Structure 1
Amino acid sequence: MLSRFLSLELGQVHYLSNDRSDLPALLLLHGNASSAASFDDLANALDGRFHLIALDFPGHGRSDRLSMPADAYAYSMEGLRDLLVKAIACLGLSDYSIAANSLGANIAAQALPSLHGLRALILMASIHSSGKDDFFSNVKPDAPSKTSLKPVFDEADIDVLTRAFIHPSRAGKPYARMARDLRESDGNFREQIVRFMALQHWPDEIALLARSTVPLLYIGGRDDAFIQHAFYRKLAQQVPQLDGRLLLLDNVSHVPHLEDASACARSIVEFAESLRSEAS
């Protein structure tokens, strides 16, 4: 994947691309304290099938760290939705799919009414809810959720979080990538996203997903350290488009594309092929 930058009003936004514009476009969105580089193995598995673009949200990866308090809004959910729409326009995407993990999937779901040209949405290890209280009711009581939103991580925090994000059986390269992303992410991002949660309206993602005509696929981890297992059954009931398209991978926690890239790639390819078959 080649390194590229978008010059937006708020600064430089980094992305990785295989530059295969002759293929169907698939935009990859990471979660909190992660990065576009977390998609490297998935990109290798999907190369030759998609025009891959992995975006670094501001404050993550190689995108700019923003000035506080002047640019604080850009670190809010509303600001990130605005950024996603602007990035898609700047990338010239008019016919594309999105695969998004955790926070990235929340941003994509909330932005659905503005994502013109979106052909499919793949949600990975994300909680979708009718509001803030509903969201947190689906989080496991013993999950290190508060730690994941601390402005400053010490090495003990990074170890705790990496062990939660990554299944123990995936220790090694996925652990190292996750730990590096945690160290390098901007603590101001987490501080501001928490602050704005109390100030901004929380969109009903369940209603947005259920009303959408965009085909959906959900890929989660059977051993997710953050998500209560009952959530998956509830989501399938609330969003009919996920009937038969909600997959839980074994020995996977909260970052499926980093923990089991090959299984994610197979699921994405099968989903894309099924959509092509339905359209023909």
Structure 2
Amino acid sequence: MNPSRILGHTVAAFSLVILAQVAHAAPATSNVASTANVSYHTVAVDGVNIFYREAGPKKAPTLLLLHGFPTSSQMFRNLIPLLADRYHVIAPDYPGYGQSDMPPIDKFTYSFDNLAGLIDKFTQTVGLSRYALYVQDYGAPIGYRLAAAHPERVTAIVVQNGNAYNEGLDNEFWAPVKAYWADKTVANAAKLRPLLEIGGTKWQYTEGVRDVSRISPDAWTVDQAYLDRPGNKDIQIEMFYSYGTNPGHYPEWQAYFRKYQPPMLIAWGKNDKIFPAAGAHPYLRDLPKAELHLLDTGHFALEEDSAAIGGLMRNFLGRTLKPE
């Protein structure tokens, strides 16, 4: 037989095997967009430049992805291409995070109320009237402020290790943070500062994962570079203190869940030492139709399970969202 024909048959057979393996691993995410289709923008909101990633057809249902601490919209770099063939995806960086402006702490109020208000204005500036939310870590108290204020805008919620119940804060990690809420002193702040160093940042990415060798060191290296900017660690300490305002909003957010019953998918890294699975289950009290999936990974579940979460989202959103 012609050698080139043999090679052609071999390549074709190998390709079929690879395609079959991909289809078996993530059947709901096989039709994905390229990362080359993601665009990067900056828009001014109240004089602050907000950076955001955008992908997908603008006439499709919109997904607003809200990141956690200490990262930025870069946490969604693997997820966005899994959704952008079907949805209009937007992921902003908060002020003081990622590529957005970092106003000095004496000229900008770093609080969850203020960040939520600014992200609310951001959605209006970029023309989002309705959107599904993806919230993780800090994204939850920011996203839930938006949802409670504008329930008519929120079409669905995807929660990934984001808290709205007291049970989710009843663990060892929060003890020094709660001490700082109770007594805002330099000494109590000093106990939190190790979380802002490379060891603490790496720990957030690697603790509780199945296979550390599958976690890209780029993730914590990029985050640490932003944290190491002059003045940024003071911003993060202020945000730690502001987090103490969130539990007071829990009854309001839970009332929103009960009244409006937003469709909810909970995809939770069950080995998270910051927001353990104890914070995932209470959602079902107020949203009995919510879908709960506990994943065998840690705090930043997308680092290890972006394909699995992307598949869950495509299935859930495909059943939930109607074309705009």
Aligned to 1:214: 262
Matches within 5 A, 1:4-43: 4-18=41-55, 20-43=57-80
Contact 1:206 1:239 in 2 (8 A): no
1:218 partner SS: strand
AA matched with 1:209? F
Q: Structure 1's 29 and 170: CA in aligned 2 closer, same or farther, altered over 3 A? A: farther
Aligned to 2:223: 181
RMSD between superposed Cα atoms in Å: 2.8
1:125 partner SS: coil
- 1:59 aligns to 2:107 (yes or no): no
2-structure distance, mates of 1:199, 1:226 = 17
Aligned to 2:123: 88
- 1:196 aligns to 2:242 (yes or no): yes
Q: 2:156 aligns with which of 111, 120, 127?
A: 120
2-structure distance, mates of 1:200, 1:221 = 21
1:263 partner SS: helix
- 1:169 aligns to 2:211 (yes or no): yes
1:54 partner SS: strand
1-structure distance, mates of 2:53, 2:74 = 8
Q: 1:259 aligns with which of 282, 300, 304?
A: 304
Give the number of equivalent residue pairs.
267
Structure 2 portions without partners, runs of 5+:
1-37, 178-189
Q: Structure 1's 162 and 6: CA in aligned 2 closer, same or farther, altered over 3 A? A: same
AA matched with 2:262? V
2-structure distance, mates of 1:201, 1:232 = 15
- 1:233 aligns to 2:274 (yes or no): no
Displacement of 1:156 after TM fit? 2.9
1-structure distance, mates of 2:280, 2:261 = 20
1:202 partner SS: helix
Structure 1 portions without partners, runs of 5+:
none
Q: Structure 1's 232 and 197: CA in aligned 2 closer, same or farther, altered over 3 A? A: closer
Deviations 1:249-273 (A, max 9, x none): 22x1112223211111111111112
Bigger mean CA offset, 15-24 vs 198-207: 198-207
Deviations 1:142-164 (A, max 9, x none): 57975995387333333333323
Contact 2:202 2:220 in 1 (8 A): no
Runs of 4+ in structure 1 over 6 Å off: none
Contact 1:145 1:226 in 2 (8 A): no
- 1:129 aligns to 2:165 (yes or no): yes
- 1:275 aligns to 2:311 (yes or no): no
Higher helix residue share: 2
Query: Which structure: larger Rg?
Result: 2
Q: Structure 1's 93 and 229: CA in aligned 2 closer, same or farther, altered over 3 A? A: closer
1-structure distance, mates of 2:264, 2:128 = 19
Contact 1:42 1:258 in 2 (8 A): no
Contact 1:2 1:19 in 2 (8 A): no
2-structure distance, mates of 1:109, 1:54 = 16
AA matched with 1:31? G
Aligned to 2:201: 158
- 1:48 aligns to 2:96 (yes or no): no
Q: Structure 1's 38 and 162: CA in aligned 2 closer, same or farther, altered over 3 A? A: same
Q: Percent identity?
A: 20
Displacement of 1:23 after TM fit? 1.8
Q: TM-score, normalised by structure 1?
A: 0.84
Displacement of 1:45 after TM fit? 1.3
Bigger mean CA offset, 33-42 vs 201-210: 201-210
- 1:102 aligns to 2:137 (yes or no): yes
1-structure distance, mates of 2:240, 2:286 = 27
AA matched with 1:182? Q
AA matched with 1:91? V
